[in-house]
Each structure stands twice: as C-alpha cells, then as structure tokens.
Amino acid sequence: MRERVGIILAAGKGTRMKSDTVKVTMQISGKPIVKYVVDACIGAGIKRIIVVVGYKAKNVIKSLGYDFEYVLQKKQLGTGHALMQTRELLKNFIGDLVVLVGDAPLINFKIIKGLIQHHQETDADATLITTYFDNPPPYGRVVRDKNNKVIKIVEEFDASPEIKMIEEVNSSHYCFKAEVVLPLLSEIKNDNVKKEYYLTDIVEILTKHGKKVETYSVVDPRFILGINTLEEFLTCEEMLKQLP
C-alpha cells in the first residue's frame, strides 16, 4: 500500500461569515469546524497530517494542537497556491496526498477511505470526490468529454450558462499521486475572475499531460457541504446533531 499524507487547507479568512473569528475555528456542536476534518483523516488511518494555515494562523494552530505539521500560506492566493506551500515539506515524498478543505465538517472517515480505495484500485493520478445536485450550489462543475472522461473543472465564477446547468459538482476533496501532481502545480495560472490559483485547474493540466483522472461519487450531497455563510453553518450544525 502506498504511503499517505493528509493535507488540510485551512488558510482562508471566510469573509462571507462576517466575523473576525477564523471560519475554520468557529465552534459547531462543541468542536472547531476544522477539527471534524482532521478527525475524519485520523479515522481513515492517515497518520501524517499537514495543515495549511494563513489568516490568524496561531488561532488555527491553537484550536488543533501541536500533533500536526503546519505550513504557512502568507498570502491567500487560492487553493492551488495553498497546496504549493507544502512542496518543500513533501519534496522527497512518494505516495498519495489526501487533500481536504478545512470548512467541510460533514466529511467522514468512510468517505475518505472510499476515496483512497478507489484512487488506488484504478491507479489514478488524481481522484476527486464529486456529487450531484438538482440545483447546484456555487461549486465547480465537472466537465466530461463524449467518452465520459473528466477533462476539467470550471468554477462557478467563470462558468457559462451552459456549464452552470451541469449537475455534477466538485467537492474540493481530492486524492493525488504526490510525485505526479506536485511538480505540475507550477502550471496553474491565475487568469480567472478572482485572480486566484485554483487547485481545480490541476484537473485540466493533468488531462493535457495524459494523466489519469478519476472521480469518486458521494450519493448524499450533504456530506460534502462546505461552510461559507451563516446559513450553511446552521445547516451543517443541524445535520451534525442528527448524525449518530
């Protein structure tokens, strides 16, 4: 079995929450949002976890403790840029990277295990968790070719009306072959509406290089919900109360 490292992206401010508190450290059902993601990683058997921090980094570190490795993203220039900050730590690593966003507290160890298993069984270079919505939220859309192969992800901000009609969305949770993906991160550009380096762009880069991209679909879309607004916070809090 290939070695695995978990990477939690937790550097953002969360401006839409309209709070000075770092979004991922906000308490939900008695625990910081990001702690749910870290615990899911641990439950999936991932022993080494790297957390990318940025805005009020000390607060995030304090909320999680010192059992993990931390990397600082000094300027929050997007998720692709966030993962770039881990390259020095991982320069000699050969194995799989489980990359998760730190604001999705409903992700669980079963989903992460399923992601890793599918990634390894298909010998993919990248596997992304996707799900389907009848009326998709503003998430990146998964674009496939006529053979149903994933060719790219288009963010909501940059999507045409036709692309926005696609019901399959990206969850922002991935499993990557480190030795394939990390060297290609430098090809991500910020020529988009937000002038950010989107990690989602790595999918199109991989396909252009002839690499294998797979998807792992989660039937219940609620489990990949991220928290960007107070309304989403309350929705996730209610769901957590209902879980066993």
Supply the residues annotated as catalytic.
16
Task: Give DSSP secondary structure letters for the chain.
Answer: ---EEEEEEE----GGG--SS-GGGSEETTEEHHHHHHHHHHHTT--EEEEEE-TTHHHHHHHH-SSSEEEE-SS---HHHHHHTTTTTTTT--SEEEEEETT-TT--HHHHHHHHHHHHHTT-SEEEEEEE-SS--S--EEEE-TTS-EEEEE-GGG--HHHHT--EEEEEEEEEEHHHHGGGGGG----STT----TTHHHHHHHHTT--EEEEE-SSGGGG----SHHHHHHHHHHHHH--
Burial label for 29, CB within 10 Å (0-12, 13-18, 19+), is middle
The tokens for 178 are 């480190």
Residues in the chain: 244
- Tell me phi and psi for residue 207, to 5 degrees: -65, -35
Map tokens 């969850």 to a residue.
171
